[in-house]
Structure 1
Amino acid sequence: MLLAEILTFLAFAATPVVTYAPEPPLAVAPTPAAELPPLLRATIEADAAQTIQRGCEPLVWRHRGKAPRGALILMHGYSAGTWQFDALGPMLHREGFDVYAPRMPGHGFGPSGAEEDAGKLLKSGEWPNYRDFAERVYQETKELGGPISVMGISGGANVLLAMMASHPDIARAVVVAPFMWPKNGYAAFAISVVQGVDTVTGSWGGSWLDGMDFSWGEAFRPKARAWGRPGHWDMKAGNVFALMRFGQSVLGEAERIRTPMQIVATGDDDVAAEGPIRELHRKVGGPEKHAFYFFPKEERVVHPMIHFRENPDSKSLATVTEIIRGYLVEGKRFDR
């Protein structure tokens, strides 16, 4: 039973695609690599030389001149992709930001329409590499000039929290449903057991998870393939464990964060536990310094709430979009 619970409930950062309306074209075409500064250009060109799924490649929307509002990092969820910013990226570019949507480390390999390659996702013992990734993205974004703001969801939010802990100069942040601990009690217990084994043996527990298959299942896979942007459906439980360990470490250093922050969470989240998100809010300074918007459980707002293919509720999608825009552009708080 415990093994089944691990496999069933360790999934997070994006629920399966639930809507399949026709895909609108990007309102603004991403900036070509040749027009980017050196670090960003190298990253975009390196990705172009690999077999990255369509919708998982890093994207940059840069202004021809100086961006009025500086630079903005958009960080996608773990099993989704940069496609989560198809609408938000161009919108925030129009609002005056140079926008950078990186690809999470090891993510997105495998040609579109084929089985994804999860072999490069970080393993259980490699979770500190997320910190290296956060630092790399910060340095790439710094080349764009101006103040840096950030927005991320779930596992991507964890990366940005680590970045803020190291770089107090980041101007503003919106973090949506950061993953600090699994919501399901069985999964939380299972993780605690594995961590205990790791403490005693060094890394045996995590290594065991590295060999354990995990899959979203077959229900939505054909439609995701037809869309051409599946993200990751198959991986190892150790990949998920790595990001969870990283989330815990980020929560442990939250007092170091000085960036003004808007947090968004939902009571109907079937992935991320609510308690640690509220603990994050308290550790960074609480309501005196940071805004917190909470969708009550009865509104049934899903964990991956920022894109219409994952959040079929147009009302909550519009609310989340306005929270992101309002806080990043105007500094407007949203509390509930």
Structure 2
Amino acid sequence: MPRTTLTDWLTNFIPHPGAPEWRERVRRAGGALLGIAFTGIATHLLFGSAGDIPMLVAPMGASAVLLFGASESPLAQPWSIVGGNLVSALVGVACAQWIATPVLSAAVAVALAISAMFLCRCVHPPSGAVALTAVLGGPAVHALGFRFVVTPILFQSFALLSAALVFHALTGHRYPRAVWRAAAPANAPASTLGTPAQAAEEAGVLADPQRLSFDEITCEEFMTSADHAVPLTMGRFAALETLRRHGVHALPVVDDAHRLVGTVTHHDLAHGRPEGFGRRLWRALRRTTLQVEETVEAVMASGAQAVHRATPLTHLASIFADHSCYEVPVFDDARRLLGVVKHSDMIRWLHQHAGAAYAYAERPVADAS
């Protein structure tokens, strides 16, 4: 393996530098504290006298990490935690009763739980631990049988979710997030999108025609992930391979704190920065190495067309038209990269919602008399 390729691969193990500010960290940790405390106290008050119901099951700690620490994740939404824990508990109890070998039962339980969560669209990583708990939880859990699904799993899932809903509402944080409203991916076949009116109907647009305005939608609601972002120190040829692998026209460039610092295009990476005589002379005098000149930082375009996450989507129309770009990076208050808004997604959204507006206008109006 070439040295450059090995180095780039090893950088994948470096922890992600992005982290919320201290106030937000305290808010999320405090939410987890209150959520777990509420769940445990509620279980004890309602079922404590029975003596056979665990006050807290371990997977709830992992669920708390998602509900309070990463509440914007699709894996942390209400149906994910309730549905994921429910189907995983059912699968786990069934495997514990029907498969005598513990290791085989645990393996089958986790595999079937994942399959069931995909089928029910409720993938929730801590639910894998729910399935394992049902199998390896010991005599007390086995004695509960399918009661384990309702108490404690389903009850504690609802209790923790209720605490999260109240906590986020009181602290001014938007939860849950309708992640399914995001625009369809660019490579999705047209047959899966349905007609524009059907797509808009499913998204609830016809019930609220005011949402057809770009002024009502922020870039944060519309953006997709920016998993093709590259660091300043990445080699030019490695970045070019990343660009080709993702099939995009440009790559967002971030620093060590995941702050957006610019963009680099295929032209920049393929041809590098043109050098005048003065620059070549200065490089010769300073004896700058070829490796330094071959980084993304050396060839990227200065500045970038980017927007804050609260920017209305209508603001992007002029950016796409005036600068001929295919996607616009979205950043937060600390200028950390959050995602990108793609030109193709906006066109697809307009096509779908224009059909929705037409369908809404064509609906017969009930006679007021």
Larger Rg: 2
Larger strand proportion of the pair: 1
Same fold (TM over 0.5): no
Q: TM-score scaled to structure 2, two decimals?
A: 0.28
Q: TM-score scaled to structure 1, two decimals?
A: 0.30
> Which fold has the larger relative contact order, with Cα–Cα distance below 8 Å and residues 6 or more apart in sequence?
1
Larger helix proportion of the pair: 2
